[in-house]
Structure 1
Amino acid sequence: MGHNYAKPLTSGQKIERLLTRIPPSWVIKLERLPGTAQWRALAHAPDTDGAWSETHMDPADALEETWRRNRTVVV
Protein backbone atom coordinates (compact mmCIF):
# COMPACT_ATOMS: atom_id res chain seq x y z
CA MET A 1 0.00 0.00 0.00
CA GLY A 2 1.47 3.34 -1.03
CA HIS A 3 1.66 6.39 1.16
CA ASN A 4 1.52 10.01 0.16
CA TYR A 5 4.09 11.93 2.14
CA ALA A 6 3.94 15.57 1.11
CA LYS A 7 7.28 17.31 1.28
CA PRO A 8 6.91 20.62 3.14
CA LEU A 9 7.68 23.76 1.18
CA THR A 10 10.91 25.58 1.93
CA SER A 11 10.75 29.17 3.12
CA GLY A 12 11.78 30.37 -0.34
CA GLN A 13 9.09 28.28 -2.04
CA LYS A 14 6.45 29.62 0.37
CA ILE A 15 7.48 33.21 -0.38
CA GLU A 16 7.38 32.55 -4.15
CA ARG A 17 3.88 31.05 -3.81
CA LEU A 18 2.69 34.03 -1.76
CA LEU A 19 4.15 36.56 -4.20
CA THR A 20 2.11 35.00 -7.02
CA ARG A 21 -1.06 35.42 -4.94
CA ILE A 22 -0.53 38.93 -3.63
CA PRO A 23 -1.66 41.47 -6.27
CA PRO A 24 1.21 43.40 -7.91
CA SER A 25 -0.31 46.73 -6.87
CA TRP A 26 -0.03 45.87 -3.16
CA VAL A 27 2.66 47.28 -0.87
CA ILE A 28 4.92 44.58 0.61
CA LYS A 29 7.39 45.20 3.44
CA LEU A 30 9.48 42.53 5.12
CA GLU A 31 11.82 43.40 7.95
CA ARG A 32 14.02 41.61 10.42
CA LEU A 33 13.96 43.07 13.90
CA PRO A 34 17.41 44.41 14.83
CA GLY A 35 19.54 42.05 16.89
CA THR A 36 17.13 39.12 16.54
CA ALA A 37 16.19 36.35 14.17
CA GLN A 38 12.57 37.55 14.23
CA TRP A 39 10.75 38.77 11.13
CA ARG A 40 7.57 40.76 10.58
CA ALA A 41 5.79 41.65 7.37
CA LEU A 42 3.23 44.03 5.98
CA ALA A 43 1.24 43.56 2.79
CA HIS A 44 -1.72 45.77 1.95
CA ALA A 45 -3.73 47.20 -0.91
CA PRO A 46 -2.98 50.73 -2.14
CA ASP A 47 -4.76 53.49 -0.23
CA THR A 48 -5.12 51.30 2.89
CA ASP A 49 -2.99 51.00 5.99
CA GLY A 50 -2.99 47.24 6.55
CA ALA A 51 -1.78 45.48 9.68
CA TRP A 52 1.71 44.17 10.42
CA SER A 53 2.12 40.49 11.19
CA GLU A 54 3.24 39.24 14.56
CA THR A 55 6.94 38.33 14.72
CA HIS A 56 8.00 34.96 13.29
CA MET A 57 11.23 33.02 12.99
CA ASP A 58 10.47 32.38 9.29
CA PRO A 59 9.93 35.41 7.00
CA ALA A 60 7.50 33.37 4.88
CA ASP A 61 5.27 32.81 7.91
CA ALA A 62 5.24 36.54 8.61
CA LEU A 63 4.31 37.32 5.00
CA GLU A 64 1.59 34.68 4.99
CA GLU A 65 0.08 36.06 8.20
CA THR A 66 -0.12 39.64 6.93
CA TRP A 67 -1.57 38.43 3.60
CA ARG A 68 -4.29 36.45 5.38
CA ARG A 69 -4.97 39.33 7.75
CA ASN A 70 -5.21 42.07 5.10
CA ARG A 71 -6.71 40.29 2.09
CA THR A 72 -10.17 40.35 3.66
CA VAL A 73 -10.08 44.13 3.26
CA VAL A 74 -10.12 43.75 -0.55
CA VAL A 75 -13.58 44.30 -2.01
Structure 2
Amino acid sequence: MGHNYARPLTTGQKMERLLERIPPSWRIVVERTAGEATWRALAQAPGQDGQWSDPAPDPASALEESWRRNRTVIT
Protein backbone atom coordinates (compact mmCIF):
# COMPACT_ATOMS: atom_id res chain seq x y z
CA MET A 1 0.00 0.00 0.00
CA GLY A 2 1.42 3.36 -1.03
CA HIS A 3 1.61 6.41 1.16
CA ASN A 4 0.90 9.96 0.19
CA TYR A 5 3.36 12.22 1.93
CA ALA A 6 2.43 15.83 1.35
CA ARG A 7 5.33 18.23 1.08
CA PRO A 8 4.92 21.50 2.95
CA LEU A 9 4.52 24.56 0.75
CA THR A 10 7.56 26.74 0.19
CA THR A 11 7.36 30.37 1.28
CA GLY A 12 6.92 31.39 -2.38
CA GLN A 13 4.10 28.90 -2.97
CA LYS A 14 2.37 29.96 0.24
CA MET A 15 2.68 33.64 -0.73
CA GLU A 16 1.30 32.96 -4.21
CA ARG A 17 -1.69 31.11 -2.76
CA LEU A 18 -2.40 33.96 -0.33
CA LEU A 19 -2.18 36.64 -3.02
CA GLU A 20 -4.72 34.71 -5.12
CA ARG A 21 -7.16 34.65 -2.19
CA ILE A 22 -6.84 38.23 -0.93
CA PRO A 23 -9.13 40.54 -2.94
CA PRO A 24 -7.28 42.96 -5.27
CA SER A 25 -8.95 45.93 -3.59
CA TRP A 26 -7.20 45.16 -0.30
CA ARG A 27 -4.05 47.00 0.76
CA ILE A 28 -1.11 44.70 1.50
CA VAL A 29 2.04 45.75 3.33
CA VAL A 30 4.91 43.39 4.20
CA GLU A 31 7.85 44.61 6.28
CA ARG A 32 11.04 43.05 7.55
CA THR A 33 11.98 44.23 11.01
CA ALA A 34 15.28 46.12 10.83
CA GLY A 35 18.11 44.31 12.53
CA GLU A 36 16.07 41.13 13.03
CA ALA A 37 15.08 38.11 10.99
CA THR A 38 11.36 38.63 11.50
CA TRP A 39 8.56 39.89 9.29
CA ARG A 40 5.18 41.50 9.86
CA ALA A 41 2.34 42.16 7.46
CA LEU A 42 -0.93 44.00 7.04
CA ALA A 43 -3.83 42.92 4.82
CA GLN A 44 -6.38 45.72 5.02
CA ALA A 45 -9.85 45.93 3.49
CA PRO A 46 -10.83 49.26 1.89
CA GLY A 47 -12.21 51.67 4.46
CA GLN A 48 -11.30 49.39 7.39
CA ASP A 49 -8.63 49.55 10.06
CA GLY A 50 -6.55 46.42 9.72
CA GLN A 51 -4.50 44.61 12.35
CA TRP A 52 -0.81 43.94 11.77
CA SER A 53 0.46 40.41 12.26
CA ASP A 54 2.73 39.43 15.11
CA PRO A 55 6.40 39.02 14.15
CA ALA A 56 6.83 35.90 11.99
CA PRO A 57 9.85 34.00 10.62
CA ASP A 58 8.86 34.52 6.97
CA PRO A 59 6.72 37.01 4.99
CA ALA A 60 4.09 34.41 3.98
CA SER A 61 3.37 33.45 7.59
CA ALA A 62 3.04 37.11 8.56
CA LEU A 63 0.66 37.83 5.66
CA GLU A 64 -1.42 34.74 6.42
CA GLU A 65 -1.87 35.81 10.04
CA SER A 66 -2.95 39.33 9.09
CA TRP A 67 -5.34 37.96 6.44
CA ARG A 68 -6.94 35.63 8.99
CA ARG A 69 -7.33 38.46 11.51
CA ASN A 70 -8.79 40.97 9.08
CA ARG A 71 -10.96 38.94 6.70
CA THR A 72 -13.64 38.56 9.37
CA VAL A 73 -14.04 42.37 9.39
CA ILE A 74 -16.06 42.21 6.15
CA THR A 75 -19.73 41.32 6.67
Q: TM-score band (shorter)?
A: over 0.9
Consecutive aligned runs of 4 or more in structure 1 exceeding 6 Å deviation: none
Q: Deviations over 1:4-27 (max 9, x none)?
A: 100110000000000000000000
Give aligned-pair identity as a percent.
Answer: 69
State the aligned residue count. Answer: 75
Please give the TM-score of this superposition, normalised by the length of structure 1.
0.98
Matches of 1:71 and 1:42, distance apart in 2? 11
Aligned counterpart, 2:65: 65
Matches of 2:68 and 2:6, distance apart in 1? 23
CA RMSD, 1 decimal: 0.5
* AA at the equivalent of 1:15: M
Please give the TM-score of this superposition, normalised by the length of structure 2.
0.98
Gaps of 5+ in 1: none
Aligned counterpart, 1:40: 40
* AA at the equivalent of 2:4: N
